[in-house]
Structure 1
Amino acid sequence: MDLEAVRTFVAAADAGQFQEAAAELAVTQQAVSKRIAALERKLGVRLFTRTPRGAALTIDGQAFLPHARELLRVAERAVASVRTGRRPLRVDIIASRGAASGLMRGFHRAHPEIDLGVVMLFDIETAVAAIRSGTIDASFRAVAAPGRPLPEDIESVRVLDEPLQLLTGPAHALAGARSVP
């Protein structure tokens, strides 16, 4: 579907006149008429009834209008998702109940204007590959693993020490310990 025709339809519906829609879109009234006619042919229905005062939506036009508005919103979100500096910040966290998810909730409350996409990737190798490919922007996870340093092109910054609790059976050697380093 031609999004310019849909945009023209919405502008004409809002203005109630093709001439006013043409002025708003910086095109001629003839261009507005042609776009609307092409859209009507594509849909197989009349969207407007022409009146002496302008144009009134038909029942089909009224039915199509909210969907047309949604099409334009979706198109804008699609463009924004790939526009530099406009796509959502994409972050990997290990679990939805961990401290990192709390950080993300706090960030979102503090910065509601920033779109945030949170994912949960399985392991560090998957997270590193996703960072390298640009699929995610950051990952919250423990990265210190004996014998497995991070690749040189990936940087880590300590942002959070999450308290963990060790659960053991009553006969385990660490069962009576008050803390475990």
Structure 2
Amino acid sequence: MPVVVSLVAVVGAICLLDLVLTVGVIRRLREHSTLITEMGGGQPPAPMLETGETAGAFEALSTTGEIVSRAGLSGNTLVAVFSPDCSACKAQLPAFVRLARSFTGGRDQVVAVVAEMGGDAEPYRLELEPVARVVIEREGTGINQALQVRAFPAFGILGEGGEVKVSGLDPDKVVMPVTA
């Protein structure tokens, strides 16, 4: 009987120690969450250049043989950057296609970039070509690099000269700001 009492006491002490350590870890995680929120302002990083910034120079050949370049932009141009291996890209593709269909200027004012990262870009090309000039390029090069893409999918509207009018992760929220 004394052995059982001793074992129960040891197990109880271990459980108490585990409880104290767990409470300490939870407290520390809350402190880190607060620090991370304060450092980042609570906002996720922009997926590409932000409003007011200017895209670097670029020139690319679309899948249909058209030249797409920053110098060739006229008016407002809707841009999107997708990755074939990105589940969020697949989810946002239909919303982007709807937006592109209704975008002022039609297909000539829409550029869709598919960043080759080992996945199959063909389904994106087939879906996007009717509504956009499609460029397939390696991640981190060309238009990806000019727009400083940091997350997929990335959406934006570029003005003449490549100035970013608006950018974001959701095509439904990428709309031209209303000026007073």
Greater relative contact order (CA < 8 Å, ≥ 6 in sequence): 2
Same fold by TM-score greater than 0.5: no
Larger-gyration structure (1/2): 1
Give the number of the structure whose residues are more often strand, by fraction. 2
TM range (shorter): under 0.3
